[in-house]
Amino acid sequence: MAGRYKVALSAISARTGAPLSSLLVSFAVLHEVTAIASFAGVFCAAHAFGVGERVVDAVATGDEPAGWARLQVKTWMQEGTVWAGRVGQRYGIFGLEKKDSKESPAYLPEHLAGDVANAVFAYGVTKALFPVRIGLSLYLSPVSSRMVVDPVTKNIDALI
């Protein structure tokens, strides 16, 4: 089975003209960049238009029948609340006070407001965009590999 993957990956490398290791590094970097860019873009838009709080409240208090998608969105909202609390308190962002990592995290209210709600909303949208981010990262990996990763690797090799 591993032989099949090796042949397929070698074919991709040959077709794109980039080494496989470079393609993998490029994909990983692009995947993270698309996550950060989508989070930042959605957060700024939610902050500008005041969308985050309304969407988070609608998801939290909605009485519609619970289907898979609704349950998944609620799960992402809960994960986003924990994440926003942890990151917000660690770095003093989203309107939360900066706390020492050894201190117990402060209680976040049930009703999320302001930038905490915007961060939770942006977290959920970033999670929902996962398939798009994967596709974009796969599509741009060969170009990024040839234009960024390979030249950086060659310059590092020249220095060493």
The pLDDT score that the predictor gives to residue 125 is 96
The pLDDT score that the predictor gives to residue 134 is 96
Q: Where are the domains of the chain?
A: 44-128
Angle between helix 52-61 and 114-128 (nearest 10): 70
Q: Are 59 and 77 in contact (CB under 8 A)?
A: yes
What is residue 79's three-state secondary structure?
helix
Six-digit token string for 31:
């995947």
pLDDT in tens, the chain (160 residues): 667 888 888 888 899 888 888 999 999 999 999 999 999 999 999 999 999 888 888 887 776 667 888 888 888 988 998 898 888 888 888 888 888 766 665 556 555 678 889 999 999 999 999 999 999 999 999 999 999 988 998 899 898 8
Q: Which residues contact 31 (CB under 8 A, 6 or more apart)?
A: 133, 134, 137
The pLDDT score that the predictor gives to residue 35 is 97
Q: Which residues contact 93 (CB under 8 A, 6 or more apart)?
A: 87, 115
Q: Are 30 and 144 in contact (CB under 8 A)?
A: yes
Cβ neighbours, 10 Å, residue 112:
24
Global confidence as pTM? 0.82
The pLDDT score that the predictor gives to residue 103 is 65
The pLDDT score that the predictor gives to residue 18 is 87
